[in-house]
Each structure stands twice: as structure tokens, then as C-alpha cells.
Amino acid sequence: MNVVKKRRLGRGVSMVGAGMSRFGAFADLSSRDLFVEAYDDMTTLMDKGFDTSDIETMYVGNFSSDLFEGQAHVAPIMSDWLGLTPKPATRIENACASGGSALREGMMAIASGMYDVVLVGGVEKMSNLATERVTDTLAMAADALYEIPAGLTFPGIFATIATAYIHQYEASTDHLAKVAIKNHANGALNPKAQFNKPLRDIMDRRIARAKERGEPVPEWEDELDFLHDDRANPLVAWPLRLYDCAPITDGAACVLLVADELASSFTEAPIKVIGIGQASGRPLHDSESLTSLSSAKAAAEEAYLMAGVGPGDIQVAEVHDCFTPAEIVATEDLGFFEPGEGARALDEGRTTIQGDKPVNTSGGLKAKGHPVGASGVGMAVEIFHQLRQEAGERQVPNDSLELGLSHNVGGTGGTCVVTIYQRG
């Protein structure tokens, strides 16, 4: 079925504001608190006059507040807490791609001519549940009939993908570790990241503590040593270890979308959303490949066609690194690197902030954190700041940054949304 085609929005859409809450584990905050925190962050950063009453409708990406907080129907609750009632509010759920899909709905709401100003947010409050129950809840994003009863949970699923990748391309667990090292280094530069320490600091602290206590001092020469040590970094599902997995995170993010022609009344530096592609994929047990997500390739192809750019043009990207192998596969599905070359690109440092293809400058889901329904919107927030040269210490050192991309996956590619952004 030839389905990928060049699509066009009837009106151009610009992002004129972006904010996020701190990402982390906050026992005393609910989804509503986090959503308001993200919204306040956005409005505080808005360049020009903005009033909440400017917003005409809103979307909330959320995976399962039902199971995490006993609260379904979250969209009107968020609308109430922002003072937006009776503006229409709609929850979008596509597992960990809920935020990306919410962004797509927001764009179409504007392009449809129905609305000019749309708030797109995402939120998840996950730390209420014990870790095992979070893992069970997340597993519902896979196939409950054919996969969950077979014992598949997401660490197992991405361990399978990692194993296949390592086998097929003669890669190694070093490559997985290098994703973690890079993204923790980036997260260390992001004040809102859940882990804002480089792995070296964590390693050094453990060495110092062993010395203090008079225990045997671990002989780690570098972070790779540290990450390969069973006690420092326990196995979760071979070959994935603790630091290969994104954490359990509470957090929210939001962006303000407006029709292009209105952008200048909100900011001098709008970011245009020039391409978006979403695709669905069959569950993993029916996938053709374990080292590529068909939905990511289809979504990317549509986004590139719509934007009229190619992978070589993208200067900064946030990709869905829920587990370290996912980032490697993403950079290949997006066409940044040939199949099998994603691992080499890590060896060469090409995806660091200083590299030629910076990936996950925010720290990614891995270090910034992964409040699942918010993650896709959080990616847009990072690209917004990068393209506006306001990403602080983690700013990509390129004065003429113009094109960014986000890649947001739900499940094992049941959904993928790829979005392309351009400095206005």
C-alpha cells in the first residue's frame, strides 16, 4: 500500500511559546500541579503580551492518568486549572507518543480554520505507583492479547531490539552505554532534567563513598567501566542495564501554537512547524524487523516531504530514547545514518552537542526524564529553545541553526510522530 505522500496544511502553524515543569519524582505534586507549572513556565517566557483568554482550545497528551492517578477525562480538569473553561479540551492518547499526536491535532485544529490559537500540553504523573506496577501499566502500550501474556514488558522488548541490533550490525553494549553517557552529559546541562549529573559524577561519588567507608574501591577507569559493572549498573533485561532505561518521571510540558499570520503578535522569534508525519505500526510480534520501526520510517518520510527538507538538513534533533538502543535505531530510521551506522556515529561523537548531528541535547528521555504523555511535547520545547538560541549551556554551537526535528514513539512503534521545525 503506497501511503506516504506529500501532505499540506491549509494554513501554516507557528510555535510562539514553550514551557515545561521540572521533570522528576514529586510525591507532593499531582498532574494538575505539574501542568500548571509547565504553563506558568511558558507564559513567563513569552516575549510579548499574552493572556490566557487568547487560547481557543487545548489538547492534553496523556498516557494513563487513569491508572497512575485514578483520574480519566484529564483534559477538562487541566482546562479548569488553567482557567480556560469553557474552551474545548481534548485528551490524546497514543502511549508514549501521546504528546506528539497532540501536537498534530493542535496543528490541524489551526489549519482547519476553526481556531487560531491552540495550547498543546502533555502530562504524566507516574511516581505514585511502585516500579513493578509502572512497568505493568506501560506494558499496556504493547499488545495485551498477544504480547503481555507472553511476558513481554518494555525492558524486555527493547532488550530484544538491542540484541538483534548488536547481532545484525556487529555492534556492542559499548554503543548502548555511549548513548547513556552522552545523554547524561547533556542532562547535566539542563536545569529541569531529572538527572542533571554526568555519569562521571555518579561514578566518582561512588568511588569517594567506598573510600570513606573503607570498602574496596571500585577500579573503574571511565564511565564505560562503570556502566559494565553488574553492581554499579545492574542488569534489567540482558543486554539492558539500569542506565539503559529512561527513568519513571513526573512532569508536564506545553507549547502555544498559532496561525502563522498571528505569530508576530506573540513573539519576534516564532518557530514554524513545517512538517509533521504520523504513522501506525503493527505490534512487535508482527513486525518485519527488530532493528527498525516501520512507523518511524513512514512518519519521517511524510514529515520530510511536507517540510521539503531531507535528513541531511536537520541540525538538531530530539529522538525517542526510552531505552538506549531506541536512540540508535531512531537515528537510522530518520535517515541521519545508514542502517548499522548509528552505532559508529556514537563512536565518532557525531551526535553530541558539538557533533555534526546533535541528538537529545536536552538529555533525552534517558536523562531529562520520561513522563510518557508529556515527552513528545517536551521534545518540541527543547527544539523551540535550541532554534531560538536560548538553550543555555546546552545550546548547539551554531549561530545559524534553522532546522530541528522531533521523533516521538508510542509502544514499539505502534505510533510514531516526526515533526520538523524551522526558525521563522
* Binding positions for a second copy, 293-352, rule CB under 8 A: 294-295, 298-299
Residue among 280, 289, 389, 398 that touches a second copy (CB under 8 A): 280
Work out whether 15 is an interface residue with a second copy (CB under 8 A): no
- How far is Cα 211 from Cα 191, in angstroms, rounded to an integer? 30
Q: How many CA atoms lie within 13 A of 365 on its CB side?
A: 28
φ/ψ of residue 131, rounded to 5: -50, -45
**Comparing C-alpha atoms, which of 61, 115, 57 is closest to residue 87?**
57
Q: State which amino acid sits at residue 30.
A: S
**32 lies in the site for a second copy, by CB under 8 A:** yes
**Minimal distance, residue 244 CB to a second copy, in Å:** 22
Judged by CB under 8 A, the residue of 12, 17, 24, 76 near a second copy is 76
Task: Give the residue carrying C-alpha cell 508576530.
Answer: 264
Instruction: For the segment 352-411, give every residue that binds a second copy (CB under 8 A).
Output: 410-411
Distance CA 407, CA 333 (A): 10
The least CB distance from residue 24 to a second copy, in Å, is: 21
User: Is-catalytic flag, 96?
Assistant: yes
**What is the distance between the alpha carbons of residues 369 and 248, in angstroms, rounded to a whole number?**
7
Question: What track of x and - describes contact with a second copy for positions 85 through 114 (by CB under 8 A)?
Answer: xxxxxxxxxxx-----x--xx-xxxxxxxx
Q: Count of residues binding a second copy (CB under 8 A)? A: 73
Residue 362: CB minimum distance to a second copy, A:
24
**Cβ partners under 8 Å of residue 227, min gap 6:** 177, 180, 181, 199, 233, 241, 243
* Shortest distance, position 281 Cβ to a second copy, whole Å: 6
Residues 111-130 within binding reach of a second copy (CB under 8 A): 111-115
Site for a second copy in 224-253 (CB under 8 A): none
- Residue 231 Cβ vs a second copy, minimum distance, rounded to whole Å: 35
Q: Does 54 bind a second copy (CB under 8 A)?
A: no
Euclidean distance between CA atoms 174 and 183, whole angstroms? 14
Active-site annotation holder among 320, 370, 385, 407 = 370
**Of residues 187 and 376, the one with the C-beta less far from a second copy:** 376
Contact status: 196 vs a second copy (CB under 8 A) = no
Which residues make Cβ contacts (< 8 Å) with residue 60, sequence separation at least 6?
Answer: 35, 74, 75, 78, 89, 90, 91, 92, 102, 121, 122, 123, 373
Instruction: Answer whether 169's CB lies under 8 Å from 340's CB.
Output: yes
Given 1, 170, 213, 215, the residue binding a second copy (CB under 8 A): 1
Q: How far is the CB of 288 from a second copy (least distance, A)?
A: 11
Point out which span in 133-141, 158-166, 381-389, 397-405 binds a second copy (CB under 8 A). Answer: 133-141
Q: Does 187 bind a second copy (CB under 8 A)?
A: no
* Minimum gap (Å) between residue 249 Cβ and a second copy: 17
The span of 252-260, 279-287, 311-319, 396-404 binding a second copy (CB under 8 A) equals: 279-287
Which of residues 25 and 111 has its CB atom nearest to a second copy in the complex? Answer: 111
Minimum Å gap between C-beta 45 and a second copy is 24
Cβ neighbour number for residue 234 with a 10 Å cutoff: 10
Q: Where are the beta strands (DSSP E) in 95-230?
A: 117-125
Q: Does residue 274 belong to the site contacting a second copy (CB under 8 A)? A: no
CB nearer to a second copy: pick between 1 and 216: 1
Per CB under 8 A, the list member of 16, 29, 75, 263 interacting with a second copy is 75
According to DSSP, the residues that pair with 121 across neighbouring strands are 60, 254
State CA 232 to chain mean position distance: 26
- DSSP string spanning 338-404? -TTHHHHHHHTTTTSTTSSS-B-TT-HHHHH---HHHHHHHHHHHHHHHHTT--GGG--S-TT--EE
Per-residue interface string for the shown chain with a second copy, residues 139-168, x marking contact by CB under 8 A: -xxxxxx--x--------------------
Kindly list the catalytic residues: 96, 370
